[in-house]
Amino acid sequence: MDRADVIIFGGGLVGLALAAALDSSGLSAIIIDPSDPDLRKDAAFDGRTSAVSSSSMRMLQTIGVADHFPVPGGPIRRIQVADGLAPGGLAFDPGDGDEPLGWMHENRHLRAALRDRAEAGPNLWLLWKSAVTSVERDADGVRVALADGRILSAPLLVAADGRNSSTREAAGIRVARWRYDQMAIVSTLRHERPHGEVAYEIFYPAGPFALLPMTDDDQGHRSAIVWSVAAADAPGWLLLSDEDFAAEARAAMGGFLGDISLAAPRSTYPLGFHHAAQITAQRLALLGDAAHAIHPIAGQGLNLGFRDAAALAQVLVEGARLGLDLGDRQLLDRYQRWRSLDSLMVGVATDGLTRIYGIPGRTASAVRRFGMGVIERFAPLKNQLMSEARGTSGDLPLLLRGLPI
């Protein structure tokens, strides 16, 4: 029987971040994932990117993941929000010399850095291409049987196995969920003029158009897009030629970046919301998309998962130092209290924005622009929203402050 402090189901971005955080403080973990990471190791850029908040980047630096980035990310130094192409709007700008609001990374580079960090971890055991046949959780601990006959044990099981988590379902944890009548189209554009490290969020009734600054390459300036469109229209958007799609994207952004072309394939995925009624059960903790998923309107989905990882790592490391069983109910209750309200509030806020900006008509647009004008002039509220974007508000775990546990 092979034993560790924690067993993690899921070797995605959030599961590997937790593993690195635990390893940094001397706790051991077994990561089990059915996929073969070598199939994606040398994959070409597929257009998928993530906005990593400044607090999440502090954690990645503190636990040694940033040391493995094959390419440095591009900073987001300003966020510009607009209601369509109407004049006015809202700008979040921390000022020269301050920490960026976030960083843009290609998902393939995030995956590579997290995997390399995990493989270098002396306390981590990565079991790729492994199928789980049974899981037992009881007062004595967790036992996991694999298809190859191995039996693994730990005091705690962490489910980081995605929004359709079979571990969550097997535990009988209820989930509130709904679908938006939208699909997200993601890709990367090449443009004539520099983006100036500015992210743009342009709201249309059919859904927001997000333009996110990426590092330039040898062919010029690049920005990622996440374009939410009506679900019924998504197939048509994908059937457009690259030239026609680029022309539509240029029109949606008002043409301020000059000529546009596609720098990566387009892909699409449905948009929805879900939130688990609880994120813990007997010797079980949910992490990332297994616990919650939100609309990408504010770019906070991955960062919520990183916040989960930072909080759970701190709870477990501090518990271990006190000599507690890592599956102890009081530790799991602390994690539940720490993360459930924050993730719910972010989910409710993004859901509200999606619905408010989805109301068509000139009157609704005028009301929204008036509201943005009020926020622009009221510094305390604007600074609070900027802190939310950075992920620096509330009771921050140590790792998100850039401090070791």
Q: What pLDDT, on a 0 to 100 scale, did the predictor assign at position 96?
A: 64
Contacts of 2 (CB under 8 A, 6+ apart): 30, 125, 150, 151, 152, 153
Q: What is the mean pLDDT of residues 58-66?
A: 97
Q: How confident is the model at residue 97 (pLDDT cuts 50, 70, 90)?
A: low
Q: How confident is the model at residue 1 (pLDDT cuts 50, 70, 90)?
A: low
Q: What is the mean pLDDT of residues 370-382?
A: 72
The answer to whether residue 241 sits within a structural domain is no
CATH code of residue 128: 3.50.50.60
Q: What is the mean pLDDT of residues 21-50?
A: 89
| Full-model pTM | 0.92
| Domain count along the chain | 1
> What residue type is assigned to position 368 of the chain?
R
Whole-number mean pLDDT of the chain? 90
The answer to whether residue 364 sits within a structural domain is yes
The answer on pLDDT for 373 being more than 80 is no
Q: Which residue has the tokens 């990408």?
A: 296
The answer to whether residue 229 sits within a structural domain is no
Q: What is the pLDDT of residues 203-239, one digit of tens each?
A: 888 889 999 999 988 888 999 999 999 999 999 999 9
The answer on pLDDT for 369 being more than 80 is no
Q: What pLDDT, on a 0 to 100 scale, did the predictor assign at position 332?
A: 97
The answer to whether residue 226 sits within a structural domain is no
Q: What is the mean pLDDT of residues 241-251?
A: 95
Q: What is the mean pLDDT of residues 99-126?
A: 94
The answer to whether residue 313 sits within a structural domain is yes
**Which two structure tokens, joined as six digits, stand for 393?**
């508000």
What is the extent of the structural domain holding 49? Answer: 2-177+272-401
The answer to whether residue 335 sits within a structural domain is yes
The answer on pLDDT for 366 being more than 90 is no
The answer to whether residue 196 sits within a structural domain is no
The answer to whether residue 221 sits within a structural domain is no
